[in-house]
A = this chain, B = another copy of it.
Amino acid sequence: MENTVIRERFKKLRQAMKDNGVNATLFPTADYHDSEYVADYFKVRAYFSNFTGSNGTLFVTENESALWTDGRYFLQAESELAGTEIKLMRMGERDVPKLEEYLKGCLKEGDTLGFDGRCVTASYGETLEEAVNACKAKLRYDIDFASMVFENRPELPVHDLYLVEEAYSGASFEEKLSVLRKELDEKDADAFVLSKLDDIMWLTNLRGSDIACNPVALSYLFITPERTLFFVQEEEVTDAVRAYAKEHEIFLVDYESFFEFLLESADTQEIKNEIKKGLFFDKASVSYTLYQMLKRFEEHAGIPVINGKNPTTFLKAVKNETELRHTRETYLKDSAVLTEFLYYVKTNAGKEEMSEISLAKKLDSMRAAQEGFIELSFPTISGFGANGAIVHYEPTEKTNAKVEGTGFYLVDSGATYKGGTTDVTRTLAIGEVTQEMKEHFTKTLVGMLRLADAKFLEGCTGRNLDILARSALWQSGIDYKHGTGHGVGYMLNVHEGPQNIRYQSAAHDPFEAEFKAGMLVSDEPGVYITGSHGVRIENILEVVADEKNAYGQFLRFKHLTYVPIDLDAVDTQYMEEKDIQLLNAYHQKVYELIAPRIQDEAVKEWLKKATENVK
């Protein structure tokens, strides 16, 4: 049956395209800051296509349309696109061209590709530019069709900003700014433009709530030798934030005037007189529109615009002592909650009715009841049986499995509290699991423990260490198709760079950061057997300084997460003596640190058993 709603929307879109002389357009899934989640205001692709997955790009010309999405969403996209004219392009499959290649077959000489360049990364914009040039077509990046034909479009998200007091940030805005200025100076710059939201929040010691699970506000920052301009929606500025901004000489400017400001300041003397050396930016974290604006700025203002790695990203990654102190405490608090939840699942599975969704809700509400809880750090992954084998699984009413009988229950969850952001995965055996499942579980566990036990020289990156987590699985011919670890924010995004643990560099982010004491990183190997079961065990580690001698500075990891490992799924025949020692030592610390935080004696007793030594 035809989807007439989509037909009507396409009709209006194509009329707007015609009115604007545009032959083809595209709608990616992104906001102006390439955020991990997009607010409703930015769900333009879903509006036009009916496809609601978290990844997809819609491409529309006068007479055809297609949508690119990845393997996680093929089934969902087929169903949601049914009844529309939109062709599904299954990314990664043989003979499926990339959008930029497909484009070349659609555009004729003199045609125009028009889109909203604020929602496209600088580098993808350049890819489109190349494709358009190859067709001798034209490109316009200043057309927001959604603003013309998206009926009842939701408003931009508006939520109050709030402060992180120095007792929690450990460094004032002025202290951070002064370090940043030194870094800029080394890059021959004295001005800086920043559109990466978590970096802006870190630097200003502010937080917001405009993006789901990310405590950030839509904003831009423009720093000159004399001023800090903070572009943010006026409605988000509370009295306290206004007073804070005044005290710290942060000038508040309206979010929507940012591009206008850039255009104007390139042609007026005021800003130009202030900047003596150059304006620094990171091409990897600006939109195509901002990139074009900066090129224009350079030309008009005659001020060099210098591309390089955001220094704020590196400064933010190395947590200071105050941040570390709060983080350690927050992880203990969060570990205790998860321990109580695991107790509930392990002791009631098979007795009480429970489902993936009911368990996720229970865990989420247990966290929400904690003092200092702000929000979940990502939607809880709660998967049983075959669903546990889907790496980015989030239960829906359609897929919601009952947790009963036998199988692995995998729960990956976390929250942002006043004092830190957590992320932890545990896999529980429900009923008696098979020998193969125990083998997968134990080898995953061994990988997690061995990586966490690494001692290594400064200069090492995640590419050097990744094999410690993988080798027990690789020896059995098993791999997991995701990275082993990501950086973790402090009262910020649960995924942050620049450090990570992977064995190959990712095409979209080939940079390898060296580990430094004070960084946080996840350690999360797994096994995923499609249609059967999934295992993932994830602790967050703190990088700490170890001995320094003639060979150099050694580093190690320290666990931040202290949650029991389900011994029902452990078979020590797959462990070396050293692995067993590591597990027992870890469990002893879990009991020591977590038991005093548990009120319920039954849980405490269970924890005692759950952390007993194995042989």
Q: Is the CB of B479 within 8 A of A551?
A: yes
Q: Mark A476-505, 1 if CB is under 8 A from B, else 0.
A: 011101000000000000000000000110
Tell me if A41 counts as interface (CB < 8 A to partner B): no
Tell me if A578 counts as interface (CB < 8 A to partner B): yes
Stretch in A142-150, A278-286, A466-474, A587-595 touching the partner? A466-474
Tell me if A431 counts as interface (CB < 8 A to partner B): no
Please name 10 pairs of A and B residues whose Cβ atoms are closer than 8 Å in the assembled complex, sorted by A.
A455-B474, A457-B474, A460-B467, A463-B463, A464-B464, A464-B467, A477-B547, A478-B551, A479-B552, A576-B578
Q: Nearest residue in B to A477 (C-beta to C-beta)? A: B547
> Which residues of chain B come closer than 8 Å to A503, judged between CB atoms?
457, 459-460, 464
Most chain B beta-carbon neighbours within 10 Å: one of A456, A459, A552 = A456
> Which residues of chain B come closer than 8 Å to A549, judged between CB atoms?
477
Tell me if A290 counts as interface (CB < 8 A to partner B): no
Give chain A's interface secondary structure class.
Answer: mixed
Q: Mark A442-465, 1 if CB is under 8 A from B, else 0.
A: 000000000000111101100111
Within the complex, the shortest CB–CB distance from A121 to chain B, in Å, comes to 26
Tell me if A37 counts as interface (CB < 8 A to partner B): no
Tell me if A162 counts as interface (CB < 8 A to partner B): no
Could you say which of B460, B504, B554, B577 contacts A459, with CB atoms under 8 Å apart?
Answer: B504
Tell me if A475 counts as interface (CB < 8 A to partner B): yes
> Which residues of chain B come closer than 8 Å to A577, judged between CB atoms?
576-577
Give A392-415 interface residues, CB cut-off 8 Å to B: none
Contacts known (A576-B577, A577-B577, A578-B576); A475 close to B463, Cβ less than 8 A: no
**Contacts from A to B (Cβ < 8 Å):** 454-457, 459-460, 463-468, 471, 474-475, 477-479, 481, 503-504, 546-547, 549, 551-552, 554, 576-578
Q: Nearest residue in B to A450 (C-beta to C-beta)? A: B471
Contacts known (A551-B479, A576-B576); A471 close to B454, Cβ less than 8 A: yes
Could you say which of B474, B475, B554, B576 contacts A474, with CB atoms under 8 Å apart?
Answer: B554
Within the complex, the shortest CB–CB distance from A582 to chain B, in Å, comes to 12
> Which residues of chain B come closer than 8 Å to A554, judged between CB atoms?
474, 477
A250 to B468, CA, bound (A): 50
> Which residues of chain B come closer than 8 Å to A551, judged between CB atoms?
477-479, 481
Q: Nearest residue in B to A548 (C-beta to C-beta)? A: B477
> Which residues of chain B come closer than 8 Å to A479, judged between CB atoms?
457, 551-552
Within the complex, the shortest CB–CB distance from A205 to chain B, in Å, comes to 36
A577 to B467, CA, bound (A): 20
Contacts known (A467-B465, A467-B467, A576-B577); A475 close to B460, Cβ less than 8 A: no
A503 to B463, CA, bound (A): 9
Q: Nearest residue in B to A479 (C-beta to C-beta)? A: B551
> Which residues of chain B come closer than 8 Å to A478, judged between CB atoms?
551
Q: Known pairs A456-B474, A463-B464, A467-B467. 9 more at Cβ < 8 A?
A: A454-B467, A454-B471, A456-B471, A460-B504, A477-B546, A477-B551, A478-B551, A479-B552, A576-B577
> Which residues of chain B come closer than 8 Å to A457, judged between CB atoms?
474, 479, 503
Within the complex, the shortest CB–CB distance from A436 to chain B, in Å, comes to 15
Within the complex, the shortest CB–CB distance from A448 to chain B, in Å, comes to 16
A247 to B551, CA, bound (A): 57
A554 to B554, CA, bound (A): 32
> Which residues of chain B come closer than 8 Å to A456, judged between CB atoms?
467, 471, 474
A233 to B479, CA, bound (A): 54
List 4 tightest A-B contacts by C-beta distance, closest first.
A479-B551, A576-B576, A477-B547, A464-B503
Within the complex, the shortest CB–CB distance from A283 to chain B, in Å, comes to 22
Q: Nearest residue in B to A578 (C-beta to C-beta)? A: B576
A141 to B479, CA, bound (A): 54
Within the complex, the shortest CB–CB distance from A199 to chain B, in Å, comes to 28
Q: Nearest residue in B to A471 (C-beta to C-beta)? A: B454
Q: Nearest residue in B to A555 (C-beta to C-beta)? A: B474
Within the complex, the shortest CB–CB distance from A451 to chain B, in Å, comes to 10
Within the complex, the shortest CB–CB distance from A571 to chain B, in Å, comes to 16
A577 to B468, CA, bound (A): 18
A124 to B466, CA, bound (A): 35
Within the complex, the shortest CB–CB distance from A30 to chain B, in Å, comes to 29
Q: Is the CB of B474 within 8 A of A471?
A: no
A475 to B556, CA, bound (A): 9
> Which residues of chain B come closer than 8 Å to A467, judged between CB atoms?
454, 456, 460, 464-465, 467-468
Q: Nearest residue in B to A551 (C-beta to C-beta)? A: B479
> Which residues of chain B come closer than 8 Å to A504, judged between CB atoms?
459-460
A612 to B576, CA, bound (A): 23
> Which residues of chain B come closer than 8 Å to A475, judged between CB atoms?
455
A549 to B546, CA, bound (A): 40
